[in-house]
Chain A
Amino acid sequence: MDFPDLGPLWLTIRLAAVTTLFLLVVGTPIAWWLAHTRSRVKPVVEAITALPLVLPPTVLGFYLLVFLSPDALLGGLWLDATGSTLTFSFSGLILASMLYSLPFMVQPLQGAFEVVGRAPLEAAASLRASPFDAFLTVATPMALRGYLTATVLTFAHTIGEFGVVLMVGGNIPGRTKVVSIQIYEQVETINYDAAHMLAAILLVFSFAVLLAVYSFNRRFPVHVG
């Protein structure tokens, strides 16, 4: 039996890790704003961030393909700046994954920030902590569970993506060929042994990550109240 090429698996993990990292940076301020704003446009922003949950990945992928293509404004600017296209590239995949997994980062964080609420921030302010200081030293540690949940969900969700990647990235080995597409390919070519092996690796890996997270959560519970 041929051992399947593990390149796509490695690419998938890299994609998921980078996407999660970037989304932590982008998702935190969005979640913070949603948790604390009294603005009237809040439901609009909430609906937009939740869209990837309900849209078929092919729809999201199609629009991304349109906007990221070198003929479109965003794709064109990227091409001018970097000399490479966003479509059918790893960078494009990251951007697509970030949009695709956005709600999985924003919603748990928003929930966690809402649970923390304003009260501890007022307490921090009365102790001379600036808002950013209070965010780092009070809100973030108190929302640690939310961060954990958001990180794991985002990572896992990105690993499992298929439709968007297929539309935006295609199937270029070493650049955009992720493991879910590889499995699909093996099944299509009736190569069930390789499909089995890859699927099992993904299954065990996902389980191990979740197990690690929940064990950590148990050993270091965040005291609230």
Chain B
Amino acid sequence: MDHLNVDIRVRYPAFELDVAHDFAGEGITALFGPSGCGKSTLLRSIAGFERAATGRVALGGEVWMEGRRGLAPHRRGVGYVFQDTRLFPHLTVRGNLDYAQKRAGRAAVRYSFDDVVSGLDLAPLFDRRAGQLSGGERQRVAIGRALLARPRLLLMDEPLAALDTRRKAGIMPYIARLPQAFGLPVIYVTHAIEEVTQLCDRIVALAAGRIVATGGVAETLERLDLGEIQGRFEAGVVLEGRIAATDAEMHLTRVDLGGRTLEVPQILGADGGVVRLRVRARDVSLARTRPEGLSIRNMLEARVLALEPEAGSAFAEVLLDIGGQHLRARITRAAVQEMGLAQGQPVVALIKSVAFDRQALPRPLRRGREFDQAR
């Protein structure tokens, strides 16, 4: 699959974006950062909507922009899912889908109209208008419409930002399957860490118009210098594991992290399914020895990899090794001193099972069968 090569500058009086990156030609890449960091501007530049953009954009061998001259947006073959969906109000859902289907032209052979409709469960909505859809339905139609134009690359600009948690959870599985099901790479703009951990394969992190980190989701999120983007409060790591066992009576699932086991509120999924869990640094406590008589269910043997006291604050962050995967703990500097923590020291990391709040728990990363057929 073709890489998207980007080297873009956008200058506004109060803001400057300067980004060079080679986006992978497969999977979902998160464009991640705080509001106003330029992620949407970058996405719009790739699509050709940003008039002030200069530089170079190329997909594979095809140059979309060189200097100030750019290929018109409608000739780029890039799909765009907007946060506000932008469904055409004068057309029904069916009309919106047909609009894209009719203009796909020769590109239409990759997958059929019905593949998209069944994959996103759109048939029941056909006769409705945008105004008669719920937020989640609207976003599903928008995704379907974008797919039907048979883009070579799908850009998604905070598609879930306007939805509540339950609707988000309902639509995420659809998004997660897009790259495999329809064979196209996705660039996904978000400032929500849960969306990154549950949907994305890679991160490009932006701050103030510059790329500050890139790489796989787990390793990028555990890097200490990302605290500023995520906010100290939300900082944490992503652990990957397999569902080892489910206790239906207690509503608990045991996740095997490769030697160490984590107990979390029940995840719906078959044993052996791969899951990602996010553990916030502030939910991790440390003990020097294994304590007894505690309500805390998860006690993981760990080793201190690095200590990072935050100057001018009460806190310190501790990076831990838990058998290959990493964990971060946010504790007070006073605790570091009293416990005499040092690099290389063995400790026990304590995580309350309740810290994995119910709605933030990911569904298992399985591939839908209907999508595999669509390929």
Q: Do A and B come from one complex?
A: yes
A residues touching B (Cβ–Cβ < 8 Å)?
A: 119-120, 122-131, 133-134, 137-138, 141-142, 144, 222-225
Distance in Å: Cβ of A113 to nearest Cβ of chain B: 15
- B82 touching A123, Cβ below 8 Å: yes
Distance in Å: Cβ of B112 to nearest Cβ of chain A: 17
Closest to A122 in B: B49
- B84 touching A128, Cβ below 8 Å: no
Segment from B97-105, B258-266, B269-277, B285-293 that makes contact with A? B97-105
B residues touching A (Cβ–Cβ < 8 Å)?
A: 47-49, 72-75, 77-80, 82, 84, 86, 88-90, 99-100, 103-105, 129-131, 145-146, 149, 151
- B99 touching A127, Cβ below 8 Å: yes
Label chain A's interface by main secondary structure: helix
The answer to whether A123 and B74 touch (CB under 8 A), given A129-B103, A224-B89, A225-B131, is: no
The 7 closest A-B pairs by CB, nearest first: A126-B80, A123-B86, A125-B73, A128-B103, A141-B90, A125-B74, A127-B149
Distance in Å: Cβ of B46 to nearest Cβ of chain A: 11
Label chain B's interface by main secondary structure: mixed
- B90 touching A130, Cβ below 8 Å: no
- A122 touching B104, Cβ below 8 Å: no
Residue from the list B48, B131, B149 in contact with A128, Cβ < 8 A: B149
B72: chain A residues at CB < 8 Å are: 125, 130-131
Residue from the list A123, A126, A133, A144 in contact with B88, Cβ < 8 A: A123
Residue from the list B86, B100, B103, B131 in contact with A223, Cβ < 8 A: B131
Distance in Å: Cβ of B340 to nearest Cβ of chain A: 58
What is the bound-complex CA distance between A142 and B90, given in angstroms?
A: 6
Residue from the list A119, A120, A122, A142 in contact with B73, Cβ < 8 A: A122
B104: chain A residues at CB < 8 Å are: 128
Distance in Å: Cβ of B77 to nearest Cβ of chain A: 7
B74: chain A residues at CB < 8 Å are: 124-131, 133-134
- A223 touching B47, Cβ below 8 Å: no
Distance in Å: Cβ of B184 to nearest Cβ of chain A: 14
- A120 touching B88, Cβ below 8 Å: yes
Distance in Å: Cβ of A103 to nearest Cβ of chain B: 27
A137: chain B residues at CB < 8 Å are: 99
- A123 touching B89, Cβ below 8 Å: no
- B73 touching A127, Cβ below 8 Å: no
The answer to whether A119 and B89 touch (CB under 8 A), given A127-B100, A131-B74, A223-B130, is: no
- B103 touching A222, Cβ below 8 Å: no
What is the bound-complex CA distance between A81 and B251, given in angstroms?
A: 90
The answer to whether A142 and B100 touch (CB under 8 A), given A126-B79, A225-B131, is: no
Closest to B149 in A: A127
What is the bound-complex CA distance between A62 and B104, given in angstroms?
A: 55
Residue from the list A124, A126, A131, A222 in contact with B78, Cβ < 8 A: A126
Known contacts A126-B79, A142-B90, A224-B89, then 5 further A-B pairs from the complex at CB < 8 Å, ordered by chain A residue: A122-B49, A122-B80, A123-B86, A126-B80, A137-B99
What is the bound-complex CA distance between A123 and B86, given in angstroms?
A: 6
Closest to B145 in A: A127
What is the bound-complex CA distance between A119 and B103, given in angstroms?
A: 19
A127: chain B residues at CB < 8 Å are: 74, 99-100, 103, 145-146, 149
